[in-house]
Amino acid sequence: MAESEKEQGEQDEDEVEEDTPLEKKKKIFSKELRCMMYGFGDDQNPYTESVDLLEDLVIEYITEMTKKAMETGRAGRIQVEDIIFLIRKDPKKYSRVKELLLMSEELRKARKAFDEIKYATTK
Amino acid sequence: MSDTSPVKKKDDKGEVTASVASNSNDCSPGKRTHLDSDNEDQDKSDQDSSPSKSSVGDTPEKHKPSSDGCRTPSDSPPNKKKKSEEEEENTHAKLKKEKQEEERLKMQVLVSNFSEEQLNRYETYRRSAFPKAAIKRLMQSITGSSVSQNVVIAMSGISKVFVGEVVESALDVLEEWGDTGPLQPKHIREAVRRLKHMALIQTSKSKKVLFQ
């Protein structure tokens, strides 16, 4: 928690001190995050600072989860079960992960079946 | 971008056709005890293949009612126990399916009554996602080793839920503080503070007060 506050403090300082040309840190989720924020209820054009802040939060979240997952179960590797274990207390995320994995499995089966049909008919 | 018939919106999840799945619950009530294990298996296989079949077009959902004649009820105690457990499971599964069914119908009705702006927002909500390549790259740079596809799927899904929680909480903060317009970083920071506080409070085991 203290770390994230420090990071945000440093960010604020960078935004205030504009003596040297800022090397802008490459934002990797800007477009998608904007759409996501609109989808979840924000304005159609969210503030850039808000998007940047959220991106940092998301990257921090993923980093934390990844690090924790590396430690659970088989150390040094990440498996799906580790993520599910870490999520177990949060009902929203837990059910969402289960749903996603089920769906991806169904899609895989469907694609396989479709390809087999295609193979059978074109043969 | 948005369809004219929002009810029929087809996304990867195949959640479109409630009518397709609703046919699967037709079984004559009188034969339920014997049919159940047969029907449940068929129900499961039908549900598994229904996303693909709905895209192809044909949905053979009817069960074979003739398959029930083979089973005879056995009265010996261990078989009776198994049967009653099976029946319990079957009723649970049926209840679950009916609930899912109801849920789907409700969503259909809701979405069909959306205004243009709401439709737009709902579509963006469903479609937005984190790019799997970027997530994979990020995770691999942290772990140093490769990361499987399922893990990337799970992580991007969780991140989206995380963003949703933060944004919704930030919107509550916005309303509480009487501000308007797009979200500002101060709302987001307060939202994160609240969420962390809640998570901390929830994860610490609540001690039950036994004696007053």
Put simply, the chain B residues between 14 and 33 with a CB less than 8 A from any chain A CB are 14
Instruction: Name the nearest CA neighbour of B179 among B191, B165, B192, B163.
Output: B191
Q: pLDDT at position A81, please?
A: 84
Chain B positions touching A66 (Cβ under 8 A) are 139, 142-143, 155
B142: Cβ contacts below 8 Å, ≥ 6 apart? A62, A63, A66, A67
Q: Do residues B130 and A34 make contact, with C-beta atoms less than 8 angstroms apart?
A: no
H-run or E-run covering B152:
helix B149-176
ipTM confidence: 0.80
Mean of pLDDT values over A22-45: 89
Residue A123 has which token pair? 């043969």
Of B127, B168, B184, which has the smallest distance from its Cβ to A50's Cβ? B184
User: Which chain A residue is nearest to residue B125, measuring alpha carbons?
Assistant: A39
Chain B positions touching A100 (Cβ under 8 A) are 153-154, 157
Per-residue confidence of chain B (212 residues) as pLDDT tens digits?
A: 344 444 434 444 434 333 333 444 444 444 444 444 444 444 444 444 443 443 444 444 444 444 444 555 555 677 777 888 888 888 888 998 999 899 999 999 999 999 999 999 999 999 999 999 999 999 999 999 999 999 999 999 999 999 999 999 999 999 999 999 999 999 999 999 999 999 888 766 655 566 76
Q: What angle do CA B5, B6, B11 make, to 5 degrees?
A: 115
What is the count of residue pairs from A and B with beta carbons less than 8 Å apart?
165
A62–B49 CB contact, under 8 Å: no
Mean of pLDDT values over A102-115: 93
Rounded Cα distance between B35 and B76, Å, is 20
**A73 interfaces chain B, CB cutoff of 8 Å:** no
Of A39, A58, A83, which has the smallest distance from its Cβ to B124's Cβ? A39
Q: Each residue of A70-105: pLDDT tens digit?
A: 888 888 888 888 888 888 888 999 999 999 999 999
Q: Burial, B40: exposed, middle or buried (Cβ in 10 Å; 0-12, 13-18, 19+)? A: middle
Q: pLDDT at position B22, please?
A: 40
Chain A positions touching B141 (Cβ under 8 A) are none
The pLDDT mean for chain A works out to 83
Helix intervals (H) in A1-123: 2-16, 30-40, 48-71, 80-87, 91-122
